[in-house]
């Protein structure tokens, strides 16, 4: 493995000149040619460890996710990755597999690996624990939270107005005449699930409809749980006339459960799904879908990350983006006209 020293020797220039060239400094044209050919011949690559040692930077952003295969996050991260690359930053992802112990452990590892910033989707971690990490306490390593806040933790955060999104979807159902509405929620430990429930309840309150606790059911944001819970709801003696599923996987699970029971949407049950517009491309009639602003989330998150990476600490920013609603044909008036 050849070093900058070898390049210096081969070109007859000094180490500092080579370093200058490598880092975009000006060198004499003839030296430029010389250096480039030497680099080529020696197959020289900058030793990143040495560079990091000196600069205290890795030009790498660490992303920590609860799981690798949640398409909602995967989509956002993919976009962020492109944006960060444009800014010269490499992105590495790692997952804690919904495991509370791994969540802390991996966060520490990432920071110890000297990533320049961490972007994370938290799940079970508390503010006190995160604050134990000195790099975060001292703002040495910027931390940005995605999709979910951590109570009592004052760091940058990009999220979505979950309350309002669920509120609007629920309102739509109530306005269509539905009075017993089922909701398929995520785990109560996760703030998005709590917020969506809150919006659901708020719509009931405002429109003076009493929610039935039996119709409020908690899953784990997985395909299977969406399937199971939708099934349970439909098997109730007085089943809800409409259902709201609150993420992509559970939406898909709910739809398969409906199909399986030969329940027609919306004739037999009205339905609103979540997250992926492409869902309506494979379900007919197309369903109504609450869409989250993934592009905007990616952009805002990247902007936030870059700002922190460039100019460091400031008072934390908390960004809330609005969700949209893709109108389909899965909400019918109730009772049927």
Minimum Å gap between C-beta 91 and DNA is 21
Which of the choices a copy of itself, DNA, none does residue 284 contact, using the CB cut-off of 5 to 8 A by kind?
a copy of itself
Compute the distance between CA of residue 208 and CA of residue 175 in angstroms, rounded to an integer: 11
Is 55 an interacting residue with respect to DNA (CB under 7 A)? yes
Contacts of residue 21, defined as CB under 8 A and 6 or more positions apart, other chains included, come to 27, 31, 32, 35
Site map 8..47 versus DNA, x via CB under 7 A:
----xxxxxx-xx-xx--xxx--x------------xxxx
| Dihedral sign for Cα atoms in the order 242, 245, 246, 247 | negative
- Determine which residue in the list 7, 10, 39, 91 makes contact with a copy of itself, applying CB under 8 A: 91
**108 touches DNA by CB under 7 A:** no
Should residue 270 be labelled a site residue for DNA when binding is judged by CB under 7 A?
no
Q: Which of 8, 242, 252, 305 is in the footprint of a copy of itself by CB under 8 A? A: 252
The per-type count for the chain, helices as H runs and strands as E runs, is: 14, 12
Q: Pick what 109 binds: DNA, a copy of itself, none; C-beta below 5 to 8 Å, kind-dependent.
A: a copy of itself
Burial profile 111-147: b = 16 or more Cβ within 10 angstroms, e = fewer: beebbbbbbbbbbbbeeeebeebebbeeeebbbbbbb
Other CB atoms within 10 A of residue 224 CB? 12
Question: Measured between alpha carbons, how far is residue 275 from residues 16, 165, 171, 272, 296 in Å?
Answer: 53, 11, 18, 10, 14
**Beta-strand runs (E) in the chain:** 60-65, 90-95, 117-120, 143-146, 156-160, 181-185, 216-218, 242-245, 270-274, 288-291, 318-321, 324-326
Shortest reach from residue 137's CB to DNA, in Å: 18
DSSP structural state of residue 211: P
Q: How far apart are the first and last CA of the chain?
A: 78
Does 134 bind DNA (CB under 7 A)? Our answer is: no
Joined together, the tokens standing for residue 146 give 């995605």
Stretch that binds a copy of itself, among 49-57, 119-127, 152-160, 201-209 (CB under 8 A): 49-57
Cβ proximity to DNA, 40 vs 315, nearer residue:
40
* DSSP-derived secondary structure letter, 214: G
Report if residue 71 touches a copy of itself, rule: CB under 8 A.
yes
Does 283 participate in binding a copy of itself (rule CB under 8 A)?
Answer: yes
Q: Which is nearer to a copy of itself, 87 or 207 (CB)?
A: 87
Q: Which is nearer to DNA, 7 or 244 (CB)?
A: 7
CB 9, min distance to a copy of itself, A: 20
Check if the beta carbon of residue 219 is closer than 8 Å to that of residue 243. Answer: no
> Residue 310 CB: number of other CB atoms within 10 A?
8
Choose the one of a copy of itself, DNA, none that binds residue 124, judging by a C-beta under 5 to 8 angstroms depending on kind: none
Catalog residues that contact a copy of itself under the rule CB under 8 A: 1, 43, 45-50, 52-53, 56, 58, 60, 62, 67-71, 73-75, 77-78, 81-82, 90-95, 97, 109, 112-114, 134, 140, 223-224, 227, 252-253, 255-257, 259-260, 278, 281-284
Q: Which residues bind DNA (CB under 7 A)?
A: 1, 3-5, 12-17, 19-20, 22-23, 26-28, 31, 44-47, 50-51, 53-55
């Amino acid at each position: 493995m050849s070093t900058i020293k070898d390049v210096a020797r081969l070109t007859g220039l000094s180490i500092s000149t080579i370093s200058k060239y490598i880092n975009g400094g000006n060198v004499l044209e003839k030296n430029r040619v010389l250096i480039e050919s030497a680099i080529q011949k020696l197959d020289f690559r900058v030793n990143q460890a040495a560079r990091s040692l000196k600069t205290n930077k890795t030009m790498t952003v660490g992303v920590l996710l609860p799981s690798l295969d949640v398409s909602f996050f995967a989509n956002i991260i993919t976009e962020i990755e492109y944006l960060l690359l444009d800014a010269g930053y490499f992105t590495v992802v790692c997952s804690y597999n919904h495991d509370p112990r791994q969540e802390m452990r991996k966060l520490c590892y990432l920071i110890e690996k000297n990533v320049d910033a961490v972007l994370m989707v938290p799940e079970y971690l508390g503010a006190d624990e995160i604050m134990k990490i000195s790099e975060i306490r001292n703002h040495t390593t910027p931390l940005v939270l995605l999709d979910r806040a951590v109570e009592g933790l004052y760091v940058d955060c990009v999220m979505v107005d979950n309350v309002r999104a669920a509120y609007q979807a629920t309102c739509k159902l109530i306005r269509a005449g539905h009075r017993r509405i089922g909701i398929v929620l995520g785990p109560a430990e996760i703030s998005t699930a709590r917020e969506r429930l809150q919006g659901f309840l708020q719509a009931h309150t405002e429109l003076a409809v009493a929610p039935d606790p039996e119709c409020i059911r908690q899953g784990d944001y997985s395909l299977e749980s969406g399937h199971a819970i939708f099934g349970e709801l439909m098997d109730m003696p007085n089943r809800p006339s409409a259902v709201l599923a609150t993420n992509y996987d559970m939406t898909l699970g709910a739809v398969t459960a409906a199909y399986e029971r030969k329940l027609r949407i919306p004739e037999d049950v009205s339905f609103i799904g979540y997250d992926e517009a492409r869902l309506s491309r494979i379900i007919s009639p197309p369903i109504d879908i609450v869409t989250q602003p993934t592009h905007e989330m990616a952009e805002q998150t990247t902007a936030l990350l870059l700002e922190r990476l460039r100019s460091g600490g400031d008072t934390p920013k908390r960004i809330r983006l609005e969700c949209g609603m893709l109108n389909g044909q899965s909400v019918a008036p109730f009772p049927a006209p």
